[in-house]
Structure 1
Amino acid sequence: MTLGPTGNTLISLLDMLCPMHAVLGASGRVLHAGPTLAKLYENGDLIDRKFQDLFELRRPHTDGSMAALRRLAGAKLHLRLCGPRQTEVKGMLVPLPDDGDGPLRGGAVLNLSFGIGLQEAVRDFALTSRDFAATDLAIEMLYLIEAKSIAMEASRKLNRRLQGAKIAAEEQAFTDTLTGLRNRRALDAVLTRLTEGERDFALMNVDLDYFKAVNDRFGHAAGDHVLQAVAQAMVTETRSADIIARVGGDEFVVILPDVADHHRVGEIAARLIKRLEHPITVPNGTCRVSASIGAALSSDYRVPSGQRMMEDADRALYAAKERGRGCHVIHVQETSISGPDRSGGRK
């Protein structure tokens, strides 16, 4: 459609100053659509389409005729695009002169903006700064949104690194570096949690027999290998819910949650002792160790105390050592229940 020199000049100015606009003729059909508005519709061809086919005027309510629209000149219009995304926009309509010549006579210019929906519109229609007038505040909002996104992503990455470092530091603080088992600090935390709760548990103090002879004969590197093999064997012979901690050179503590039966503790202790008597291959030979175990059960105490149970299990352990090693003793308040006497003259 020919708009004439004046009309073409007007269109060029509008495309530059407010690229998201529509020029309507007197019949309410689109004579021209700004480049940004055309981008909001899939086919981009809006020429000669009716206003009502492109926009739903939500407020103020009118019959949609051009005469009714021209009466809303200067008012804030709330519209919705008649498209797949039904994006909501704001608009203002400015009537064109009635005494002009050509197709612009009796028409109007409808200028649009996204309002607070700018960020979603930029995402939905892949808009860039070139789709807005250079003086449009939307440009600054886009820069602010982009800067905020970059800052938030950097903050998220930093938080993830800090959280990972924190978890790694906590894990290291509660882990025995040689065996990968829990350490004494972790054991103290577990005992505090268990004794403050209502779950029964058993505690076994495990001490290796003849470990000094391994270091003396094969060297400390072989001794470290034996400790690692012992740790792996103990993990294999216990449940995933059980906690095993290395609390000294060749001293270990095993926590058995939900275990309150002396007989069951005795069976577990005997199985561990038998497993730890298997020969262990070291780089320069084969060695053997065994274990003595002292145990205490929280169900034997009116008010369980982690420190008291550790002390009582330790006394039971020394009793097992005195009986010849390679056996277990379970502490009770007045007497002790022990496994079979397996001294056999062992030292």
Structure 2
Amino acid sequence: MGARLKDGSVSFGPLALARLMPLHLAVNATGQIVNAGPTLQKLMNGQAALGRNIGDVLALRRPPGPLTMPVLLAQHDLALGVVLTSDPTVSFRALVVPTLDGGAFLNLSFGIGVAEAVRRHALTVEDFAATDLTVEMLYLVEAKTAVMDELRNLNRRLQGAKVAAEEQALTDQLTGLRNRRALDLQMKALIRLGATFGLMHIDLDFFKQVNDTLGHAAGDHVLRQVARVLTQETRATDMAARVGGDEFVVVFPNLSDTAQLMRIADRIIASVTEPIAFEGRDCRISASIGVTVSTLYDSPDADRMLSDADSALYDVKRDGRGKALLVGGPLIEGLVGR
């Protein structure tokens, strides 16, 4: 593995050469490769270098063309730009030294493409000479990569936290439905886009009695069950929101068929009227609903529509509860749960 000194010259065995110059090539006078460094052989993805012609392994980078012995010998003592023929993305600077037998010795080094070569061929510090400054560059690249990965991870976590916070800001924490802020944003967006939509304002009947007789835990349970009913009776594209203690609003994008909306309202009333069990007791409520659609307005306005649906709802309550009323239309009888 050591070096031999003789007549002012130094000779190295294959192991010493591999350690000192892992990217070297030695060719004989006919251009046949007689020795190759381990890193160069690794870059060739298992293809044998020994015995092949130099022009089959390396090519000139600029101007592109074949690498021949006359070109090599004409360029001795100069840095020659070459690329791997098997992977032209890997480029080198080659220092060419003629040998006494008419051949040549090439010591290769990476240029600015070292990072790409390391990535594509999974090179490590073991593939470079210990004194090669590329090793220092690799440490910097690895450090930069680690920092960039951590920054990307941090950015993803921050983005996830932002999305979660925004979602929480638009969600009613008790029922999991949307809240008043989300409702306002949805209605403004639909009006801005000129989309048609239906609107229901729902108020629970006899909810105060549940709270007064069975306690607030029972009331919270009832609200969650109502939220479940609203989710089941509406489409995935609809928005159900809790906007007050026992008040809910449902928005139905692209639905202006009043008959269909009234059928949905009847189903909601029927489901809500079913007794809700809580700790061995039945909670009995019903629902009063005011309904309107954007097509009833020349210029839909969110506040006006909500106010109209709210007025219709309280007309229902004065008329006996447990019904749905379409603004501008007849009183539609629903299932009454009094």
User: Fold-level match, TM-score > 0.5?
Assistant: yes
Alpha-carbon separation, structure 2, partners of 1:139 and 1:286: 76
Residue 78 (structure 1) aligned with residue 71 (structure 2):
no
Residue 280 (structure 1) aligned with residue 273 (structure 2):
no
Q: Amino acid of the residue matched to residue 98 of structure 2?
A: L
Point out where structure 1 has 5 or more consecutive residues left out of the alignment.
Answer: 98-103
Contact 1:222 1:282 in 2 (8 A): yes
Alpha-carbon separation, structure 2, partners of 1:340 and 1:229: 23
Residue 202 (structure 1) aligned with residue 205 (structure 2):
no
Within-5 A mapping of 1:311-322: 311-322=307-318
Alpha-carbon separation, structure 2, partners of 1:246 and 1:137: 65
299-308 or 233-242, which deviates more: 233-242
Contact 1:74 1:92 in 2 (8 A): no
Aligned to 2:94: 92
Aligned to 2:108: 112
Aligned to 1:101: none
Shift of residue 271, structure 1, vs aligned partner: 1.9
Q: 1:35 to 1:315 in 2, by over 3 A?
A: same
Alpha-carbon deviations, 1:226-248, whole Å to 9, x = none? 11111111211111111110111
Residue 302 (structure 1) aligned with residue 298 (structure 2):
yes
Alpha-carbon separation, structure 2, partners of 1:342 and 1:47: 91
Aligned to 1:27: 30
Shift of residue 316, structure 1, vs aligned partner: 0.7
Alpha-carbon separation, structure 2, partners of 1:227 and 1:303: 34
SS in 2 for 1:9: strand
Shift of residue 75, structure 1, vs aligned partner: 4.0
Within-5 A mapping of 1:177-216: 177-216=173-212
1:242 to 211, 228, 238: 238
Aligned to 1:266: 262
Q: Amino acid of the residue matched to residue 156 of structure 2?
A: R
Shift of residue 261, structure 1, vs aligned partner: 2.7
SS in 2 for 1:217: helix
139-148 or 9-18, which deviates more: 9-18
Q: Amino acid of the residue matched to residue 83 of structure 2?
A: R
Shift of residue 17, structure 1, vs aligned partner: 4.7
Alpha-carbon deviations, 1:109-150, whole Å to 9, x = none? 212123232123223333222322344332232122111110
Residue 9 (structure 1) aligned with residue 8 (structure 2):
no
Residue 339 (structure 1) aligned with residue 332 (structure 2):
yes
TM-score, normalized by length of structure 1? 0.86
Within-5 A mapping of 1:109-258: 109-258=105-254
Alpha-carbon separation, structure 2, partners of 1:183 and 1:69: 77
Contact 1:20 1:111 in 2 (8 A): yes
Shift of residue 273, structure 1, vs aligned partner: 1.2
Shift of residue 90, structure 1, vs aligned partner: 2.2
SS in 1 for 2:76: coil
Q: 1:224 to 1:270 in 2, by over 3 A?
A: same
Q: 1:338 to 1:153 in 2, by over 3 A?
A: same
SS in 1 for 2:114: helix
Shift of residue 199, structure 1, vs aligned partner: 1.0
Shift of residue 35, structure 1, vs aligned partner: 3.5
1:51 to 54, 70, 85: 54
SS in 2 for 1:240: coil
Residue 39 (structure 1) aligned with residue 42 (structure 2):
yes
Aligned to 1:329: 325
Contact 1:62 1:69 in 2 (8 A): no
Contact 2:34 2:50 in 1 (8 A): yes
SS in 2 for 1:294: strand
Alpha-carbon separation, structure 2, partners of 1:195 and 1:87: 55
Alpha-carbon deviations, 1:267-317, whole Å to 9, x = none? 222221122111111113112110011122111111111111111111111
Taking every aligned residue pair, what percent have the same amino acid on both sides? 48
Residue 66 (structure 1) aligned with residue 62 (structure 2):
no
Shift of residue 107, structure 1, vs aligned partner: 3.0
